[in-house]
Amino acid sequence: MGLKFDSRWEAERWGQLKAMERAGVVDQLDRQVKYELKVNDQKICNYIADFTYLLIEEDGSSRFIVEDAKGVLTPEFKLKKKLMLAIHNIDILLSFKKK
């Protein structure tokens, strides 16, 4: 069974991240990770991250990355990006296909 992706760029980026994982640059790679966005115990919506992973730095330390492969920045996504930072203290990394 093949993986389903929302766009060609998302599928291509998954391939890049899988290669980085094989090279030991990325660890704990996952996709379609759901985050609940709640304000004052009121569920507003969910945000589903395209990818999450640990990026291994040259000094051996690592940092947790939540990444979204984007073609277009919709108003809805811009709001969810702000909510992710405000609620979970996660600044979503945006990846765009090189033209």
Above pLDDT 70, what percent of the chain? Answer: 98
pLDDT > 60? residue 1: no
Phi, psi torsion values for 74, nearest 5 degrees:
-80, 155
pTM value is 0.91
Note the helical H segments in the chain: 8-22, 75-88
- Give tens-digit pLDDT for 27-81: 999 999 999 999 999 999 999 999 999 999 999 899 999 999 998 899 999 999 9
CA distance 56 to 19: 14
Q: Classify residue 89 by its DSSP letter.
A: -
